Amino acid sequence: MNGYKKAKERYAEVSVDTEKAIETLKNVSVSLHCWQGDDVRGFDTDPSKPLTGGIQTTGNYLGRAGNYQQLMDDIDLVLKLIPGKPKMNLHASYAIFEDGNWADRDKLQPKHFEKWVNFCKERGLGCDFNPTFFSHKKCDPLTLSSANEETRKFWIDHGKACIRVSNYLAQELNDTCVMNIWTGDGLKDIPGDRLGPRVRYKESLDEILKEPYDFNKVKPCIESKVFGIGVEAYTTGSAEFALSYAAFNKDKCIPLMDNGHYHPTEVVSDKISALLTFFDEIALHITRPIRWDSDHVVLFDDETKEIAREIVRCGIDKVNIALDYFDASINRVAAWVIGYRNVQKALLYGLLQPIEQLKKLQEEQKFTELMVKQEELKTMPFNEIWDEYCNRCNVPKDGQWFEIVEEYERKVLSKRTQ
């Protein structure tokens, strides 16, 4: 009997259907963030300028993608090594300008993303989108919450342009486009006015969301944050702000939680059900914070597993799942693959739980048995199911993909000059 068959029987003994888990996961979209390949630099500004907005990449590993062709080549390799149903996730700063036809962010047009649309079409991918409110000379350093009306208008126009691009992506690719609004707006030290920037941020969002879109196809999100590097004292788009905005505008946008954006003892796994009590749909950025929003590569760790278990229990179709991390200290292609495979592993792990049984044990107050059952799930033959899932998705199993990345590093990445 092969390993999978045996493992399938073992899971059936605890009322888990492995076939159903595998078939479900094959159709769950998970967004692959383009910005892991080039340390969030993008193509629309001078790449030697530092990243702003309170986020940071650290490390100087060889082979950073320096242009769209290199980035696409790298993504192509990633796509061969990850199972499931990936979707692209682009930032506005990855616009592609042909023949010197550069446009500033307030003037971006769908045509600047035509090459990405073709890339997605050829590979059968949908695409999510993000306005880029950082790493630009118009950050003063605030954007949508700036007191300077000219600055604020520039960024509102950027948001509106991004809705038009999102409409185009959704239309061309015949898939929903989740458009996430995050700004790094905030202050390094104690504010003299906390309310003003928040009121302006709200008004800016109202303006942006007046741009027409079909909410069934384009889903604007508001991402909150606790603090960033250089903006330690005050973040305009705090958790309460972002959540309240989304709650008061449920017909226009959804809340997005990034698990790097909370105090270190808070867990997003516990927040998913809280939000889904009130929202039909939410969005997530899955990352790995170490002490702060450090955006380390996602691991198959306890909190990632718990987030996935909650996604499955609350309804996998209610959560828009995206990755968000950037590590420049290791092979960037491997970093992408490790994180993506780990999110897939966590979702598969979450799908392999006897949901009804666990719920019943809790309701009947059989807490001892609940603990026993949950503990025993941890040492089930999970790896056999994971291997089978990879096989059915036609991608390498664990132990078989890293050498492909090593060869790519030797032949391609190590030849790059930047």
Return the residue of 293, 384, 388, 409 that touches ligand RNT, per CB under 6 A.
Answer: 293
| Residue 225 interacts with which of Zn ion, ligand RNT, none, CB < 5 to 8 Å by class | ligand RNT
Contacts of 104 (CB under 8 A, 6+ apart): none
CB of 51 to ligand RNT, least distance (A): 9
Closest CA to 350 of 6, 3, 20: 20
Secondary structure (3-state) at 57: coil
Q: Does 182 bind ligand RNT (CB under 6 A)?
A: yes
Active-site residue flag, 258: yes
Extract the tokens encoding 360: 């019943």
In whole angstroms, what is the distance from residue 224 CA to residue 271 CA? 13
What is the separation, in whole angstroms, between the first and last Cα of the chain?
51
Placement of tokens 């383009």 in the chain: 34
Closest CA to 166 of 228, 212, 106: 212
Active-site residue flag, 293: yes
Instruction: Concatenate the DSSP letters of all residues of 265-284 into one string.
Output: T--HHHHHHHHHTT-S-EEE
- CA 379 → CA 7, 239, 253, 382, distances in Å? 11, 36, 40, 8
Active-site residue, selected from the candidate residues 87, 202, 261, 305: 261
Q: Is 65:71 a contact under the CB 8 Å cutoff?
A: yes
| Residue 130 interacts with which of ligand RNT, Zn ion, none, CB < 5 to 8 Å by class | ligand RNT
Hey, CA dihedral for 103, 105, 107, 110, is it positive or negative? positive
Q: Does 409 bind ligand RNT (CB under 6 A)?
A: no
For ligand RNT, the closer of residues 262 and 401 by Cβ is 262
Active-site residue flag, 285: yes
Q: Is 341:298 a contact under the CB 8 Å cutoff?
A: no
For ligand RNT, the closer of residues 4 and 326 by Cβ is 326
In whole angstroms, what is the distance from residue 163 CA to residue 350 CA? 34
CB of 110 to ligand RNT, least distance (A): 20
Active-site residue flag, 182: yes
| Residue 293 interacts with which of ligand RNT, Zn ion, none, CB < 5 to 8 Å by class | ligand RNT
For Zn ion, the closer of residues 285 and 341 by Cβ is 285
The contact set with Zn ion (CB under 5 A) reads 258, 285, 324
Placement of tokens 């105090």 in the chain: 263
Q: Residues 115-134: x/- map of binding to ligand RNT (CB under 6 A)?
A: ---------------x----
CB of 161 to ligand RNT, least distance (A): 16
Q: Does 380 bind ligand RNT (CB under 6 A)?
A: no
Active-site residue, selected from the candidate residues 39, 185, 293, 409: 293
Active-site residue flag, 223: yes
CB of 299 to ligand RNT, least distance (A): 18
Q: Does 225 bind ligand RNT (CB under 6 A)?
A: yes
Q: Does 285 bind ligand RNT (CB under 6 A)?
A: yes
For ligand RNT, the closer of residues 157 and 324 by Cβ is 324
For Zn ion, the closer of residues 31 and 145 by Cβ is 31
Closest CA to 333 of 64, 92, 40: 64
| Residue 310 interacts with which of ligand RNT, Zn ion, none, CB < 5 to 8 Å by class | none
CB of 235 to ligand RNT, least distance (A): 10
Closest CA to 193 of 243, 233, 135: 233
Residues that are catalytic = 182, 223, 225, 258, 261, 285, 293, 295, 324
